[in-house]
Each structure stands twice: as C-alpha cells, then as structure tokens.
Amino acid sequence: MKFIKNKTLSNGSRLIIARLDLHILNHISDINLNPEELNKYRAITNEKRKCEFLSIRKTIQTVYDENEFITYSYHGKPNLAISGHKISISHSKGLLGILVHPTLEVGIDLQHESPKIIKIKNRFMSPSESEACKDEEWQLLTHWCAKEALYKYYSKGEVLFNKNLYLYPFDLAQSGKLTGKISMPDMLKELPMAYEIIEDTMVVYTMEEV
C-alpha cells in the first residue's frame, strides 16, 4: 500500500490516506481474510470494489497486525475486532481514507471534485447553509463530506442531512477546521472537525477531544 498520509492527530486519532492498489487482486494471498470477510469478498462482482475491499484490509493489517479484521455493529458501523478501536472508512476516485481512535467514535469522508454536487445540494443543505455557500462547489463538497462524517459518527441511521446535521459558517481554504452539529432525539452534540483538499479530493474528519 502507498500511504499519502499516516499520522497521529492531536486528539489521538490516526489518519490514514492511501492510494487504491489496482494490482492487489494479484496478491490476495498476502491478506488474511477470515471466513466472514472471504464470503463478503466472493460476493463482490465489480473488480474496483474488490480492490477497495482488499486495499482497506491490507491497510489495516499493515498498521495493526495481520490478524486484525473489521466487525460491524447492528447499525452497520465498523469497528476493529481485536484491538476494539473505533474506525471510519471512506474512498473516492482511487483514494482511501481511514480514521481510527482507541476509544472515541470517529467519522471520515472523501469526495472527489464534481460539479454534480450542485444539483443535489437541497438533499443535504439547510436553506441558511445553501444561501451562505452561493453554489460554490468546494463549499458544497465540504458540507457534503462533513455531514457524511457526522452521519458515520452518529451511525444509527434515520438522519436527514438537511435538518439533523449542520455546519457552522467557516472560511474555506486548502485546509482548516470547522464545527459540525448533530441534532437527533438521542444526541445533541457539537463536534470539532478538520478538512483538507488532497489531489482534487475533499477530506473531512471528526476531531473530538478525549
């Protein structure tokens, strides 16, 4: 795996950005898949999805050990089975993003640049957020990724992005920090977040303090 980033953040999370290994299908024997993961892999018919599946597991086993694997909660949220660490995963246009923390819930999302984001803005933007963004593509991408990351952090589903998730106004740069808010019946929480643009891809992740 080729890592673009592999660093520990100020809150103790580990941020990994890696490049999708398009040749990993030729080295599947180097990856330790348990029976459940092997069944999931065999059910995937798309070759790129197979590469993503294996690349994620290869990255985890490189950072942890060859026996580590992903397990899923009732709501589908991933966790690392052996270490018990919290994990969030995303991928877009050949890049993989992984955020892990020993104890804190985490959320990360990647989205490659796309003008199509403007067409779906009403699905995830509140009227006040939309007015502030003025259809600026990178602002919309930041909101989309941040809300996806918040959704993964919450993990229980039944979330309306344009009503239950909110971003406080921020000045967009190449990288920076922002604050997101989750407003659900069982969770009312503000979360510090960070973002950066890597190879025309917006990356946003949670930065909750211990």
Q: Over the stretch 31-45, which tens digit does the pLDDT of each residue have?
A: 999 898 999 999 999
Burial bucket for residue 23 (CB in 10 Å: 0-12, 13-18, 19+): exposed
Token pair 């990356």 is at which residue? Answer: 203
Q: Which helix (H) or strand (E) holds 63?
A: helix 47-63
Residue 87 has pLDDT above 90, yes or no: yes
H or E segment and range at residue 59: helix 47-63
When the pLDDT of each residue in the chain is averaged and rounded to a whole number, the result is: 94
Give residue 75's pLDDT.
82
What is residue 135's predicted lDDT score, i.e. its pLDDT? 85
Q: 7 by DSSP, 3-state: which?
A: strand
- pLDDT average, residue stretch 100-123: 95
Q: Give the 3-state secondary structure percentages of the chain, helix then strand then coil, rounded to 5.
A: 35, 35, 35
pLDDT score, position 157? 83
In this structure, are strands 78-80 and 70-72 parallel, antiparallel, or unpaired?
Answer: antiparallel
Please identify which residue in the block is written with the tokens 């898949």: 33
Backbone phi, psi, residue 13, to 5°: -70, 155
Alpha carbon distance 176, 192 (integer Å): 11
Angle between helix 47-63 and helix 35-43 axes, rounded to 10 deg:
150
Confidence of residue 51 (pLDDT cuts 50, 70, 90): very high
Confidence of residue 58 (pLDDT cuts 50, 70, 90): very high
Cβ pair 182, 154 in contact under 8 A: yes
Q: Tell me, what's the pLDDT at 1?
A: 72
- When pLDDT is averaged across residues 167-190 and rounded to a whole number, the result is 96
- The 10 Å Cβ neighbour count of residue 127 is 9
Mean pLDDT of all residues in 58-73: 91
Please give the pLDDT value at position 134.
Answer: 85
Please give the pLDDT value at position 73.
Answer: 85
Count CA atoms within 13 Å of residue 66 on its CB side: 5
